[in-house]
Structure 1
Amino acid sequence: MNYTPEELRSICLKRSIFDGYNKKQVNNLLSLIDEDYSRVIKENEEMKSKINSLNEAIQHYKMLEESLQHSILVAQHTSEQIKVNACEKARLITSEAEINATKLLEAANLEVVKSKGKLEEIKSEIFSFKSKTEALLQAQMEILKQISIE
């Protein structure tokens, strides 16, 4: 039986005629109080044990939380590094592409200049060939005119 403090204060023990309080009633009451007190001590010990277990679990979860926070920070730092490296690599690729494009344009312009030079050379050769052919034809015409006259 669980006695509350108020119940214990309100217990009225009967007095026997010769011995004072009734021994049987006092012994029964003390037995019940002993049982309650023993049960409370046992519950108290169980609660303390449970509190210790829960405190250990809390410490475990705190360590796990710290580990996770550290992991998150490392992951954030790593992602920032990857981002910075990717931006740098993109800048280098763009720069290299611009340099290659400039070289290609210069090579193409040089090829155009060479082609124009070759075109002018061919035009000059055609003009020379035309001029020589016209001169040869005129000479042949002169020869033909002289042959016909005689």
Structure 2
Amino acid sequence: MPLTPLDIHNKEFSRRLRGYDEDEVNEFLDQVIKDYEALIRENKELQNGMLGLQERLNHFSNIEETLSKTIIVAQEAADEVRNNAKKEAQLIIKEAEKNADRIINESLNKSRKVALEVEELKKQASIYRARFRTLVEAQLELLSQDGWDSLDSQGREADRELLRG
């Protein structure tokens, strides 16, 4: 058990002949008591300070651990968001590629239909021109025949008879 200031104060020494000066020993013991009490107080204060520092250290260690866990969770969340964004971007790209292919195919089909319609219209125009040319040529030939004048005279006589009649 550790020595206390009271133990020092109550310590009795046996007396012998030619021993130490009792007053000098008592003064020294009083000084030892004061110094020992001061050391005990200082030790208590240091222990209390150490306990406070230990509590603060534990508090900051808990904060550090919480922050570390939070950073890890945040990093995992950021990784998950990044991965989800990549997946969504890939889906959007695939969808856009499908739509582009569909649009291209529809455009090609429409282009083919228009080309076929143009060809059909060209054929019809060519046929129409050929028929019209034939008709015009037949009409010109009819006009250039000698019988046209005789038809014209007969037509006038028929008109006269109608008027008479």
Rg bigger for which structure? Answer: 2
Is there any run of 5+ residues in structure 2 with no aligned partner, and where? 1-16, 150-165
One-letter code aligned to 2:49: K
Q: TM-score, normalised by structure 1?
A: 0.83
Residue 21 of structure 1 and its aligned partner are, at CA, apart by: 2.6
Q: Which runs of 4+ in 1 moved over 4 A?
A: 147-150
- 1:92-107 to 2 correspondences below 5 Å: 92-107=91-106
Residue pairs, 1:126-137, within 5 angstroms:
126-137=125-136
1:35 corresponds in structure 2 to 34
> Separation in 1 of the partners of 2:65 and 2:73?
12
Q: How many residues align?
A: 133
Give the structure 2 partner of residue 109 of structure 1: 108
Structure 1 unaligned blocks of 5 or more: 1-17
1:64 and 2:63 aligned: yes
TM-score (norm 2): 0.75
Deviation, 1:147, is 4.2
Q: Distance in 1 between matches of 2:46 and 2:31?
A: 22
1:26 is the counterpart of 2:25: yes
Other structure's SS at 1:21 match: coil
Q: CA RMSD in A?
A: 1.7
Q: Distance in 2 between matches of 1:54 and 1:149?
A: 135
Give the 3-state SS of the residue equivalent to 1:126 in structure 2.
helix
User: Greater RCO between the two (CA within 8 Å, min separation 6)?
Assistant: 2
Q: Shift in Å at residue 148 of structure 1?
A: 7.4
Deviations 1:75-112 (A, max 9, x none): 11001101110110110011011001001101110110
